[in-house]
Amino acid sequence: MELTEADKKQLEKKGISKDKIIDQIETFKEGIPFVRLESAAVISNGISKFSEDEEEKLVQNFENAKDSISLLKFVPASGAASRMFKAMFNFLDTYDHKEETLESYLDRTKDTAVKSFFDGMENFAFYDLIRKRIAGKATSKDEEKYLFVKEMLLPEGLNFGFYPKGLLPFHNYGTYNATPFEEHLKEAVAYAQVNNKANLHFTISEQHGELFNNEFSTAGQRVSKDTSTSFTVNYSYQKPSTDTIAVTLDNKPFRNTDGTLLLRPAGHGSLIENLNEQDADIIFIKNIDNVVVPRFSSEVAKSKKVLAGLLLELQAKAFEYAEALDANNLSTEQLQKIKLFLEKELNVRFIDKFNSYSIGQQIEILKDKINRPIRICGMVKNEGEPGGGPFWIKDAQQHISLQIIESAQIDMENPSQVDILKNATHFNPVDLVCGVKNYKGEKYNLLNFVDTKQGFITQKTKEGKDLKALELPGLWNGAMAFWNTIFVEVPLVTFNPVKTVNDLLKPAHQVK
């Protein structure tokens, strides 16, 4: 592939090497193979489920340790709210209150999302705010509803369609509205603070930096005063160096109308670099829109403490064994004990020939398997929500492992693979508790544990032209493929994302 001098300067400005671009184009040519599902992870085969007594012990384990370790809440928060309002943008484009009544429009279009919005509109946290802004401007109830949506979404109004999702008014507390950003501060107090100090890191879009700072100056003070907690909040942006090249359908670099290469943000998998720059003993990961109102918060906090307590319990054993392996004077019996721990408690699988290897070879394999970051992933029962799920997979080297797999990674033309997918009982709510250090307290380089072959190739258009785009392996998918992984069933109440504006009408987002 020939690059012009202008191309080289464009890549250099973003910090992208020519070799990386060549690799990406090769990936487009070769394609990304589907993953090979071995079986769905279910209770007692890949997913753990604890009794109340076991949960209490794990919570106590965390409580006993937390004052002597560092905690961090890591929140991917760069998503814009535009997709949340897709149905309402469509309503603005297609409804003319001068030409027909709202009732006839809804009857004609059968648009249930718009109907649900208007049926429940008084329960949105922003209802009173918008009503005041449009007061006296409408001549009919239908026009008033039209103006309500217009004021909510468009730049001359509140411009919610532009806002990052994390800064929208989600919950109405009477005297103020709380954003997801504020709810994450409150949540951090419940399980991620040490000695009345809490550390949070949000990955955001650079254009929204000032908005987040303004929100922290008000919401931060409010939560700090109410909870006697001081917050350290940091931000990072998706790195330009993680952008990927787009190509034409015949795998040639796609160029913009000005002749420059089209380089695109590569999805949330890029955030492994942001995560890699964080330093804490335990890192909680949760998406920005997955928050709840106070009456559900204690159950959510308990669930996080259970996961963190399990991480600490497993880490303690793993660290002990890792240190023993470094000493290099273990008996065959001791090696078998470590192997059993890896299999039974960290879900590691070994090839059949392992026992025929020399003790020296076995030690090296065990060292490799145990010296990895650990992630405890909450899984909720499948209630028909979209999203990835927990599966046992077999890779090209015939290694079997537990992974979070998206439906786009599965060959839907293969009946046996579809059958395995149908057997899945749980899905991924993005609820992770991560240990990223070894027994010496040294942080792992997380970039060493990424499966680069678990990315996604998608077809898109730009200015009417077809193109292929490359997404890096997802943060909790391929970007963590070579971590030691434990799945745990967590309560459904811990999963309350806001994918559409109408999700705000659900009980988990209603304060009253």
Residues 308, 436, single domain; the answer is yes
Structure tokens, 177: 């509205």
Residues 44, 117, single domain; the answer is no
Residue 275 covered by a domain? no
pLDDT attached to residue 329: 80
Instruction: Give CA separation, 470 vs 29, 72, 194, 261, 403, in Å.
Output: 12, 30, 40, 14, 21
**Cα angle: 345, vertex 346, 349; to 5 degrees:** 110
Residues 442, 301, single domain; the answer is yes
Long-range contacts of 68-71 (CB under 8 A, 24+ apart): 69/194, 69/281, 69/282, 70/194, 70/199, 70/279, 70/280, 70/281, 70/282, 71/192, 71/193, 71/194, 71/198, 71/199, 71/280, 71/281, 71/282, 71/283, 71/284
Three-state DSSP class for residue 327: helix
pLDDT attached to residue 387: 64
pLDDT attached to residue 453: 84
Mean pLDDT of the chain: 95
Residue 272 covered by a domain? no
Residue 381 covered by a domain? no
Distance (Å, whole) CA 276 – CA 274: 5
Residue 148 covered by a domain? yes
User: Is the pLDDT at 1 greater than 80, yes or no?
Assistant: no
Residues 57, 112, single domain; the answer is no
Distance (Å, whole) CA 240 – CA 349: 37
Q: What DSSP string runs through 434-456?
A: EE-B-TTSPBP-GGGG--GGG-E
pTM listed for this prediction: 0.94
Residues 136, 10, single domain; the answer is no
Of 109, 138, 163, the domain-final residue: 163
User: Is the pLDDT at 221 greater than 90, yes or no?
Assistant: yes
Residues 54, 110, single domain; the answer is no
Three-state DSSP class for residue 370: helix
Average pLDDT, stretch 42-65? Answer: 97
pLDDT for 436-474, tens place per residue? 999 999 999 999 999 988 888 989 999 889 999 999 889
Of 147, 163, 179, the domain-final residue: 163
Residue 23 covered by a domain? yes
Residue 178 covered by a domain? no
194 phi/psi in degrees, rounded to 5 = -125, 125
Look at the chain and report how many structural domains it folds into.
2
Residue 79 covered by a domain? no
Three-state DSSP class for residue 54: helix
Cβ atoms 200, 72 nearer than 8 A: yes
pLDDT for 251-286, tens place per residue? 999 999 999 999 998 888 899 999 999 999 999 999
Query: At 105, which helix (H) or strand (E)?
Result: helix 102-109
Distance (Å, whole) CA 253 – CA 465: 13
Residues 115, 251, single domain; the answer is no
Cβ atoms 164, 170 nearer than 8 A: no
Distance (Å, whole) CA 180 – CA 171: 8
Residue 80 covered by a domain? no
Residues 446, 497, single domain; the answer is yes
The boundaries of the domain holding residue 119 are 101-163
Residues 306, 453, single domain; the answer is yes
Of 136, 163, 190, the domain-final residue: 163
Residues 449, 306, single domain; the answer is yes
Average pLDDT, stretch 474-492? Answer: 96
User: Is the pLDDT at 488 greater than 80, yes or no?
Assistant: yes
